[in-house]
Amino acid sequence: MKLTGKQQLFLSFMLFSMFFGAGNLIFPAFLGRAAGADVWIGMLGFILSAVGLPILGVAAVAGVGGLDALGERISSSFSLIFMFIIYISIGPLMAIPRAATVAFEMGAKPFLPSFPEGTALLIYSILFFAAVLWLSLSPSKLVDRFGKLLTPLLLLLLGAVFVKSLLTPLGGAAEASEAYTTGTFFKGFLDGYLTMDL
């Protein structure tokens, strides 16, 4: 099936919003602060593992016709077990809990100082996952919802944060922290890997 330019744009937006998570927002700022003057070397490692390799992964899976087709090159049972392990480890064991807790810590907790944290997190998680469920119930509408609505909004907010940081920076370049004094590229690579995109 040949996609139009508009469809490709919205599909690209959906992929961006699918990969761009809290780690992609937090780790680069942390890396920039911690790497000091070697920030560009650290960022190269970060971009390689957080952007470059995930794009190559998507291209590889798309090129063979899907993750199941890729796994079936070894065997159909390997394909099934491999996909099960990936989905379980990335979903319920890591990404799903992290999605709710990071959103809570950054978006709700600062505004709820007198509310018991455990109760607030529980209520927030229920509302958060109810919204996620509503967005996910119609897979055919994901491109429309994410590509046309949420990603452009996300890009506008990121642009506002970027402009704000340029106009009112927090300070100049600091000394590199101990973790970034040697092997800055590889430390950045590991930070990119921690985004879980790869």
pLDDT tens, N- to C-terminus, the chain (198 residues): 677 888 788 777 777 777 777 677 778 888 888 888 888 899 999 999 998 998 898 888 888 888 788 888 888 888 888 888 888 887 788 778 878 888 888 788 888 877 788 888 899 999 999 988 887 787 777 767 766 777 788 889 889 988 998 888 776 667 778 888 888 899 999 988 888 787
What counts of helices (H) and strands (E) characterise the chain?
12, 0
Q: Which pLDDT value is given to residue 9?
A: 81
Q: Which pLDDT value is given to residue 196?
A: 78
Contacts of 164 (CB under 8 A, 6+ apart): none
Distance CA 48, CA 56 (A): 10
Q: How far is CA 81 from CA 27, 101, 186, in A?
A: 31, 29, 31
Token digits of residue 92: 């319920």
Token digits of residue 3: 């996609």
- For residue 1, the 8-state DSSP code is -
Distance CA 92, CA 55 (A): 23
Token digits of residue 181: 């004094």
* Residue 176 contacts residue 27 (beta carbons within 8 Å): no
Q: Which pLDDT value is given to residue 72?
A: 82
Name the 3-class secondary structure at 26.
helix
